[in-house]
Every structure is written in C-alpha cells, then in structure tokens.
Amino acid sequence: MGIGRARSGCGAALVGNPSQILERLHRYMDMGIRAFILSGYPLIEECHYFAKLVLPHLPNVKLAELQGRLPKLQPMTPLTTGEIG
C-alpha cells in the first residue's frame, strides 16, 4: 500500500474519513484479524481524531477473556491487593 516506502517493516496505510476507516477496519475483522497496532501522522492530532471519531464505533473486548486465558484465581500481587510485601 505504499507505506513501506516511508517506513520499514510490515504495514498498511488506511486513509480516509472516519466512516471509510471503519469500513476498512471491519473488512480486516471480517478476514479474522482481531488485534491492530495503529499509528497516525502527525501522531498526537491523529490520535485525538481516531479516539473521538473512530474508536467509539469499534467492538471492544478483553482479549484474555475472548481467548479463554483468564486465571482461575486472582493472583496475589501488589497490584491486586494494594499491599507491598
């Protein structure tokens, strides 16, 4: 898709208005893709646009829950108990 000329590695560029971006992301999801690493140019401005205009319209899941990878018991760590040993 041309992004390889601007940066190395595997990637594809999605360019368009919010509804076009959503349509293209849904096409990827229809192919079975469930996780995305997204970035934009210029970074912070694109993040704000994406968060406001696209993200609220995407499905939201907990990947560990979807994959059946939740622990049977809550682990005892400072993050879960608030106690520092």
pLDDT for 46-79, tens place per residue? 889 999 999 999 988 887 888 888 888 877 888 8
CA distance 8 to 77: 39
pLDDT at 41 over 60: yes
Q: In terms of pLDDT, which residue wins out, 8 or 38?
A: 38
State the residue range of the domain holding 58. Answer: 3-81
11: number of CA atoms within 13 Å, CB side? 14
pLDDT at 1 over 60: no
pLDDT at 30 over 80: yes
pLDDT band with cut points at 50, 70 and 90 for residue 82: confident
Peptide bond just before 42 cis, omega within 30 deg: yes
Number of domains in the chain: 1
